[in-house]
Amino acid sequence: MKTQKSERSERDVWVFRLVVVSLGLCMLASLIGAIILAGQDKDTPEILVALGSAAVGGLAGLLAPSPLNR
Residue 17 lies in a domain: no
DSSP character string of 9-69? HHHHHHHHHHHHHHHHHHHHHHHHHHHHHHHTT-PPPHHHHHHHHHHHHHHHHHHSPPGGG
Q: What is the pLDDT of residue 4?
A: 65
Residue 67 lies in a domain: no
What is the domain extent for residue 40? 26-57
**Tally of structural domains, the chain:** 1
Residue 20 lies in a domain: no
Q: What is the pLDDT of residue 19?
A: 94
Q: What is the pLDDT of residue 8?
A: 72
CA distance 27 to 21: 10
pLDDT in tens, 12-70: 888 999 999 999 999 999 999 999 999 999 999 999 999 999 999 999 999 988 888 65
Please tell me the pTM assigned to this model: 0.78
Residue 8 lies in a domain: no
Q: What is the pLDDT of residue 13?
A: 87
